[in-house]
Chains A and B, each alone.
Chain A
Amino acid sequence: MEYKKVCFLYRNKDYAVDGIRSALGLAVENMYSYGVVLDSELEKLDEHNMESIEMLRDMEGEIFTTVPANNEKNGFEMMTLEEVGEKLREMDIVVPYGLK
């Protein structure tokens, strides 16, 4: 069986934490699920949210970011905008999460 690949894009920080939970939800449903925090800096995540990210990683997912502060505070994998573009080409579905 071929599993779908999905990437969430979080540009609005008010939606990022819940969007990470949503990415975990798809990983639980047997998809390769990724998220990218673009442009905005998140606060240090609490233990519960960090556990969600660890669970996502256990299922071969990952949270990336283009913002160095998110790497320093929360351990998100760094990715340039160009690399985000390359990553999206591998995806079956791209989800812009939390449009305003």
Chain B
Amino acid sequence: MAKSLGIFVTNPDCLHHVIGITKAAKAKGSKVKVFFTWTATHNAKDKAFPELCSLADDVSICVDSYKKQGYDPADIPEGLTDKKMATQAQHGIIIEDYDCYLSL
């Protein structure tokens, strides 16, 4: 099992998969980072989203996408902090620093 897994999410309807994969990876001792962009930022409003934030080592969203999807950047989703309202640099970190990459 890889030591780290980065998940890049563009799909608004797959939060349950992200949570399932994160659970499985953590159970195998992997570090997990998740980044949501564009319509996938709607996932941040799902009631299961805080569970993902507590499971994964790092969860962030693209704040520009969040704004373009109609949300106020000051309205920080439960489970995140203002520092996790981030940019595409988070995607770059996943590609550069994580052993395995998954796009959903």
Residue of B with least CB distance to A96: B103
The smallest beta-carbon distance between A92 and chain B, in angstroms, is 8
Chain B interfacial residues counted at CB < 8 A: 19
Which residues B51-104 have CB closer than 8 A to chain A? 64-65, 68, 87-89, 91-92, 95-96, 101, 103-104
* Count class of interface residues, chain A: 20 to 34
Closest to A18 in B: B38
Q: Which residues of chain A come closer than 8 Å to B8, judged between CB atoms?
A: 95
The listed residue (A25, A92, A98) touching B91 by CB distance below 8 A is A25
- B10 contacts the other chain (CB 8 A): yes
Residues in A neighbouring B103, C-beta threshold 8 A: 95-97, 99
Q: Is the CB of A29 within 8 A of B38?
A: no
Asked if residues B101 and A25 are in contact (CB atoms below 8 Å), the reply is no
**Interface membership of A84, Cβ < 8 A:** no
Partner of A4, one of B68, B88, B96: B96
Chain A residue with Cβ nearest B65? A18
Query: Whole-angstrom distance between the alpha carbons of A92 and B38 in the complex?
Result: 23
Q: Would you call A13 an interface residue if the criterion is a C-beta within 8 Å of the partner chain's C-beta atoms?
A: no
> Could you tell me if A98 and B10 are in contact, using CB atoms closer than 8 angstroms?
yes
Given A31-B95, A96-B103, decide whether A21 and B88 contact each other with a Cβ distance below 8 A.
yes
Residue among B11, B39, B89 making CB contact with A25, cutoff 8 Å: B89
> Closest CB-CB distance, A9 to chain B, in whole Å?
10
When chains A and B are docked, how far (Å) is the Cα of A98 from the Cα of B11? 6
B37 contacts A by Cβ under 8 Å: yes
Q: Please name 14 pairs of A and B residues whose Cβ atoms are closer than 8 Å in the assembled complex, sorted by A.
A: A6-B95, A15-B39, A21-B64, A25-B87, A25-B88, A26-B95, A28-B89, A30-B92, A93-B95, A95-B103, A97-B10, A97-B103, A98-B39, A99-B103
